Amino acid sequence: MTYGIEQLGIDTPGKVIAVHLNYPSRIAQRGRTPEFPSYFFKPASSLAPTGGTIERPAGTELLAFEGEIALVIGAPARWVSPEDGWKHVAQVTAANDLGLYDLRAADKGSNVRNKGGDGFTPIGPAAISTEGIGQDAWRVRTWVNGELVQDDTSDTLKFPFGQLVADLSQHMTLETGDVILTGTPAGSSVVLPGDVVEVEVDAPNAPGAPTTGRLVTTVTQGEAPFGDFGSKPKVDDLQRIEAWGSEEEHAAAVAAGRATPLEVSTSSTGEGNEGPLTDAIREQLDGVAVATVSAALRKRGYVDIFIDGVHPNHEGDRILGTAKTLRFIPFRPDLFKAHGGGFNAQKRAFDTVNEGEVLVVEARGIPSTGTVGDVLALRAQVRGAAGIVTDGGVRDFAAVEEFDIPVFSQGAHPSVLGRRHVPWEVDVTVACGGAAVQPGDIIMGDRDGVIVIPPFLLEEVAAEAAAQEEADAWVAEQVANGAPVDGLFPMNAEWRAKYEAERAGGKARS
């Protein structure tokens, strides 16, 4: 059986191997940079020809396309060098590495079910001989309903084609007809029943500008539900955001009626809505340093998450909660007259903050005026707020210091409202201390500072940070007992083995 690829003139591949991340544009979007390529297999039964349909299974919402350059192996490759790897590629064609984010959690990264379905790898319609064309000369473009959504070239790849062939050939023989899917650029997103996806690969600067032509796939709606004898579709906000490409693209899709809104409101958690900051995660983060969490965020590409310049009003204060935002704009007499009196935005923010929320105030980093005083701070405390963060000053500082509520600010200033600011709006995206903060973001602070955690990253970041904190405590214990830091901090393989052994022994005794 050829599974619809007879038009390429190649036999059914023994292996279809796909690369996780390769294009810098996609790596930046995902927020994590791989040191080396990583892979997964797709079954030959997932292959499909151009002009076919792909069924979005009943009960699912996140079927995503990925336009890719596919390599077809010519001469078998085993233990070849990166310099020689490209010589073993006989043809190049277009592919669409479709995946169902609803089943992403079912196989813990192997992608068996979410990317292995029948028809989930359309390929073709023509293959281009690589003779006389270099590995950096290729382009991939994708259109959805006629709109160009992906456009990138192979000369940008983090892992060139020859390196992929060489790396895989260290572990297995790449045989004639095997296919390697080389990764997708930014622009991959969700498609709905009725959408038409087209992928084309070409070599625009090669003689004759050869092209595969457009690989066309139409999305249809499936009717057969998943049974109770296996993993069922499951979607959360992280999957929605990653499937659509970003929070902004998901929000645009919601506005266009093409996507399901996030389950956690981005305007306010509301009373009684636990949101992503569950009791379990609070317990997990208890005692974990902000510095440790910031390191976990940095690994994912989030480096501008610090609310700089703010300090706690009590030594030892910690803050953890969901952001509720207040924005001030620069003072202007007519605007202050219209917006500064009555039940203004400042009063609304403090009068409506909910239990567990952190009031985050954008004061444009100006310390020379008060942005909160004793009455408003007391109101926030009475309503159960988890804290206040302002990149401005605090009036009635000594009185506020007597309250239990943590307040992070640039320090004391005696001025009243109306000197430098106009209270403008609440529950909007703000810039506080150089960090973007959206309502619903997670705010965490200690004596080192305050950081902003995107809600969809909270669970994985909390787990990693808690594990790192435990490891760091063990390292500190070894240093206190006289061990040198070389090889211990960070732990080399020998120290890591000792740590894991002690940790396993401790768990066994408990």
Residue 270 burial by CB count (10 A; 0-12/13-18/19+): exposed, middle or buried? exposed
pLDDT at res. 274: 54
Q: Is residue 260 part of a domain?
A: no
Which residue, of 201, 220, 244, is where some domain finishes? 244
Query: Which residues neighbour 507 within 8 Å (Cβ) at sequence distance 6 or greater?
Result: none
Distances (CA, A) of 121 to 3, 12, 160, 180, 216: 10, 13, 22, 12, 12
Q: Is residue 104 part of a domain?
A: yes
CB 193 within 8 A of CB 219: yes
Query: Which residues neighbour 478 within 8 Å (Cβ) at sequence distance 6 or greater?
Result: 488, 495
Pair 296, 384 in one domain: yes
Pair 155, 39 in one domain: yes
DSSP letter (8 states) at residue 469: H
- Confirm whether pTM is higher than 0.95: no
Of 457, 458, 453, which Cα lies nearest the Cα of 281?
458
Q: Give 370-412 as a 3 state SS string.
A: EEECHHHHHHHHHCCCCEEEECCEECCHHHHHHCCCCEEECCE
3-state SS class at 111: coil
Give dist(CA 93, CA 42) in Å, integer.
Answer: 16
Q: Is residue 189 part of a domain?
A: yes
Query: Which residues neighbour 452 within 8 Å (Cβ) at sequence distance 6 or greater?
Result: 305, 306, 307, 323, 435, 436, 437, 441, 442, 443
Domain span holding position 120: 6-244
Give dist(CA 20, CA 314) in Å, integer.
Answer: 46
Give dist(CA 84, CA 20) in Å, integer.
Answer: 23
Pair 489, 376 in one domain: no
Looking at the 3D structure of the chain, how many domains does it have? 3
pLDDT at res. 8: 61
Distances (CA, A) of 466 to 80, 441, 461: 42, 19, 8
Q: Is residue 254 part of a domain?
A: no
Give dist(CA 438, CA 457) in Å, integer.
Answer: 14
CATH (domain of 22)? 3.90.850.10
Walk along the chain (510 residues) in steps of 10 and give the mean pLDDT of each run: 51 89 88 88 93 93 97 96 97 96 85 94 95 97 96 96 98 96 96 96 96 96 90 86 85 85 52 70 92 93 94 92 95 88 86 92 93 92 94 93 94 86 91 94 95 94 91 89 87 85 64
Q: Is residue 203 part of a domain?
A: yes
Provide the 10 A C-beta neighbour count for residue 459: 17
Taking the alpha carbons at both ends of the chain, their separation in whole angstroms is 56
Pair 334, 403 in one domain: yes
Pair 344, 292 in one domain: yes
Q: Which tens digit of pLDDT belongs to each residue from 68-101? A: 999 999 999 999 999 999 999 999 999 999 999 9
Q: Is residue 253 part of a domain?
A: no
